Amino acid sequence: MPYVTVGQENSATIDIYYEDLGAGQPIVLIHGFPLNGHSWEKQVLVLLNAGYRVITYDRRGFGASSQPSVGYDYDTFAADLNTLMTKLDLHDAVLVGFSMGTGEVTRYLGNYGSKRVQKAVLMAPVPPFLLKTADNPEGVDQSVFDGIMTAIVKDRPAYFSEFFREFFNVDVLLGERISNYAIQACWNVAAGASAKGTLDCVPSWLTDFRNDLPRIDIPTLIIHGDADRILPLESTAARLPKLIKNSQLKIIHGGPHAITWTHADQVNPILLAFLQQK
């Protein structure tokens, strides 16, 4: 199993697990909370068949990566990504983030620039800034995130059960676009994640990316479901075309947060068309 070392805590190294498959232009897929790189399976197969090199990795604290007690902030997440990009010596890569992974894409481009990156894709994005403040009235009240942290501390497995109901819009899409087996598989991954990392990720969602967005100087595709209950369209993706030069927004009608799974039949053609644009 391939790993890249990104740091150390006490006597243990902090290692990021990754998979590097296929040949061609590199596509780096960055997963959402609280999953791992395998959550991209509906995209990996399509991209490999289309002739791309596909790289996935597990965020620190999740999947097969190390579970340190530190580093659950976007400067560190972006540094982890940069270490992987450097180790693999990637060039002309496409960074594709889903949900929490869009923060890595945005902060990476803000901190490290686009020397190694040709295009970016933000699916169900966190940016520009989730927290409601005086200068960000479109954001979400702090009390919502406080409640999430309280629920995680009280009963993390129970919190995940409720989270995935809203993640997939189970009341609407169960049996049609999502199965109980797929939901259980996601719960299993989430339950195996770091308890500390799971909790610490919540404050990271409140990162202000508004200074990073103007630094994105490459073509950027934004995809969002208009039935997203986790990251509402109006607070996130709908605001980005005015903040990212050379960007385009595609809306998946009826799409929940987890459009990469439930609406892969619509997301994948949009993604491939963008990758093939000159």
Catalytic residue numbers, as ranges:
99, 228, 257
Given the structure tokens 């509402």, which residue do they identify? 232
Q: 3-state DSSP: the chain helix, strand, coil percent, rounded to 5?
A: 45, 20, 35
201-234 in b/e form (b: 16+ CB < 10 A) is: bbebbbbbbeebbeebebbbbbbbbebbebbbbe
Angle at alpha carbon of residue 244, lines to 238 and 247, rounded to 5°: 75
Is the bond preceding residue 34 a cis peptide, omega within 30 degrees? Answer: yes
- Which residues have a Cβ under 8 Å from the Cβ of 127 and sit 6 or more positions away? 102, 103, 106, 209, 210, 212, 213, 236, 240, 243
Computed on alpha carbons and rounded to an integer, the radius of gyration of the chain in Å comes to 17
Given the structure tokens 């963008």, which residue do they identify? 274
Question: Contact 243/213 with Cβ under 8 angstroms?
Answer: yes
